């Protein structure tokens, strides 16, 4: 086994436990959740009970005290069965928890990390209707009020919004300062002026909630600022850099789930008097899919290991997300074709994996933005 994909005993046991949970608890509910466009509440509770919502949070705050790599392993395993639950766990760990771990004050960590580890879902609120890839063109405002602020604005495409109780919201304290005015705030669902807007109906990962977040004069004090005033852009960039690896893990798991189903089906389906996996065309197709999945795995595992080692991983994270997203889309499409006409109906999981795959190239930085990031790093290296 290649060193990058080898696991320690602890990591192997952890991965096996998540795989068991996914097969026994998520799989029976996967179709129902997709059709209902909602995560089953029992699975949300189970995710906390298993420690999946606070993998990197230290044990003193009720977390599992694990590594970033272990978070990625969990996301990968969950996505093999249902990418919707995988991104639910992903956003909690790689975005929200990491923000508090990296940028929270001692008081903020003591207050919020136990809740995030054991009972409350978190959400990351950056995107707006007119600021997607150009994230720092956001229009949400934080107007001074006493020694605090009043937050106003509308966020769109916010993952985990329906389930969340804690929101990390990015708003500008002064638009004239450009990106240097952007600040990260902690907002709770119970605060006056906070509400959710429409819930989006999506092509894929339908059970994952995606909603508008509306801020109408939400009052927050200085204790709700994450990091420093005016440093929200840095908080966002560094957090999303880690988040890219989480999405890569989701897409890697999705590709593996789609491939496993197609490989099994190819050994069961007979045409022209023999199983279809006896035809060289199908064999080559499956072999090529396996090669691309393994290459994507190496990129994702490498980026996650670099992050845990405290080394620079900007380029590697972008490469992992770009490649894993591309491989997931390609493998999901090819896997569906292995089923033939049956791949197009909901009796088999191929069509769901195919629908779920597309988002990988879009959220937490489009594929073009990943290429731009990769080029900029290479330009510095070779320029």
Last residue of a domain, one of 230, 246, 281: 230
How buried is residue 342: exposed, middle or buried, by Cβ count under 10 Å (0-12/13-18/19+)?
Answer: middle
For the segment 5-19, the average pLDDT, to the nearest whole number, is 95
For the segment 288-298, the average pLDDT, to the nearest whole number, is 98
Same domain for 246 and 277?
yes
pLDDT in tens, 21-76: 999 999 999 999 999 999 999 999 999 999 999 999 999 999 999 999 999 999 99
Q: What pTM was computed for the model?
A: 0.97
Euclidean distance between CA atoms 160 and 123, whole angstroms: 6
For the segment 266-286, the average pLDDT, to the nearest whole number, is 97
**Is pLDDT above 80 for 2?**
no
Q: Which domain holds residue 83?
A: 3-121
Contacts 24+ apart (CB under 8 A), 237-241: 238/102, 239/94, 239/95, 239/98, 239/99, 239/102, 239/124, 240/95, 240/364, 240/365, 241/313, 241/314, 241/317
- CA dist list (Å): 94 to 60, 184, 278, 289: 19, 16, 42, 28
Same domain for 160 and 242?
no
Same domain for 250 and 197?
no
pLDDT in tens, 312-345: 999 999 999 999 999 999 999 999 999 999 999 9
What is the torsional sign of CA 276, 280, 285, 291? positive
Last residue of a domain, one of 121, 146, 179: 121
What is the pLDDT, as a whole number, of residue 190? Answer: 98
**Is pLDDT above 80 for 235?**
yes
For the segment 212-233, the average pLDDT, to the nearest whole number, is 98
Set 76, 77, 351, 364: catalytic member: 364
Same domain for 133 and 192?
yes
Last residue of a domain, one of 195, 211, 230: 230
Number of separate helices (H) and strands (E) present in the chain? 12, 10
Same domain for 216 and 292?
no
Same domain for 60 and 131?
no
Same domain for 241 and 286?
yes
Confidence of residue 4 (pLDDT cuts 50, 70, 90): confident
Domain holding 71: CATH number? 1.10.540.10
Confidence of residue 383 (pLDDT cuts 50, 70, 90): confident
Same domain for 359 and 314?
yes
Confidence of residue 1 (pLDDT cuts 50, 70, 90): very low
Alpha helices in the chain (DSSP H): 9-21, 30-36, 41-49, 68-81, 83-90, 98-103, 106-118, 232-266, 280-308, 314-338, 350-357, 367-382
Question: Is 37 in the active site?
Answer: no
- Split into its structural domains, the chain has a count of 3
Euclidean distance between CA atoms 301 and 307, whole angstroms: 10
Same domain for 147 and 102?
no
Same domain for 47 and 73?
yes
pLDDT in tens, 78-129: 999 999 999 999 999 999 999 999 999 999 999 999 999 999 999 999 999 9
Same domain for 129 and 72?
no
For the segment 234-243, the average pLDDT, to the nearest whole number, is 96
pLDDT in tens, 125-171: 999 999 988 888 999 999 999 999 999 999 999 999 999 999 999 99
- 225 - beta bridge partners? 185
Same domain for 127 and 113?
no
% pLDDT > 90, the chain: 96
Domain holding 200: CATH number? 2.40.110.10
Domain holding 255: CATH number? 1.20.140.10
């Amino acid at each position: 086994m290649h060193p990058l994909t080898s696991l320690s005993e602890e990591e192997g046991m952890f991965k096996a436990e998540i795989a068991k949970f996914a097969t026994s608890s998520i799989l029976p509910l996967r179709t129902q959740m997709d059709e209902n466009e909602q995560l089953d509440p029992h699975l949300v509770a189970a995710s906390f009970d298993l420690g999946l919502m606070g993998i990197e949070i230290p044990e003193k705050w009720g977390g599992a005290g694990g590594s970033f790599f272990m978070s990625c392993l969990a996301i990968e395993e969950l996505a093999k069965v249902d990418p919707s639950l995988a991104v639910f766990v992903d956003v909690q760990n790689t975005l929200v928890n990491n923000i508090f771990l990296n940028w929270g004050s001692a008081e903020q960590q003591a207050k919020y990390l136990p809740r995030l580890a054991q009972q409350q879902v978190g959400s990351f609120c950056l995107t707006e209707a007119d600021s997607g890839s150009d994230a720092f063109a956001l229009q949400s405002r934080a107007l001074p009020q006493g020694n605090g602020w009043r937050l106003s604005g509308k966020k769109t495409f916010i993952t985990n919004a329906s389930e969340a109780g804690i929101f990390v919201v990015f708003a500008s304290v002064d638009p004239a300062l450009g990106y240097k005015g952007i600040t990260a705030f902690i907002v709770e669902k119970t605060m006056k002026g906070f509400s959710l807007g429409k819930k989006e109906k999506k092509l894929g990962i339908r059970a994952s909630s995606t909603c508008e977040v509306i801020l109408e004069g939400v009052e927050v004090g200085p204790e709700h600022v994450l990091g420093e005033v005016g440093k929200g852009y840095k908080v966002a960039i560094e957090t999303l850099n880690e988040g890219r690896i989480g999405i890569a893990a989701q897409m890697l798991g999705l590709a593996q789930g789609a491939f496993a189903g197609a490989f099994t089906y190819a050994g069961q389906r007979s045409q022209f008097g023999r199983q279809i996996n006896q035809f060289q065309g199908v064999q080559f197709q499956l072999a090529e899919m396996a090669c691309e999945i393994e290459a994507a795995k190496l990129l994702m595992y490498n980026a996650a290991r670099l992050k845990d080692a405290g080394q620079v991983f900007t380029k590697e994270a972008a490469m992992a997300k770009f490649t894993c997203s591309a491989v997931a889309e390609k493998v999901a499409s090819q896997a569906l074709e292995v089923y033939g006409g049956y791949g197009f109906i909901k009796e088999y999981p191929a069509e769901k994996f195919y629908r779920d795959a597309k988002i990988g190239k879009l959220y937490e930085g489009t594929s073009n933005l990943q290429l731009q990031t990769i080029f900029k790093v290479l330009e510095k290296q070779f320029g």
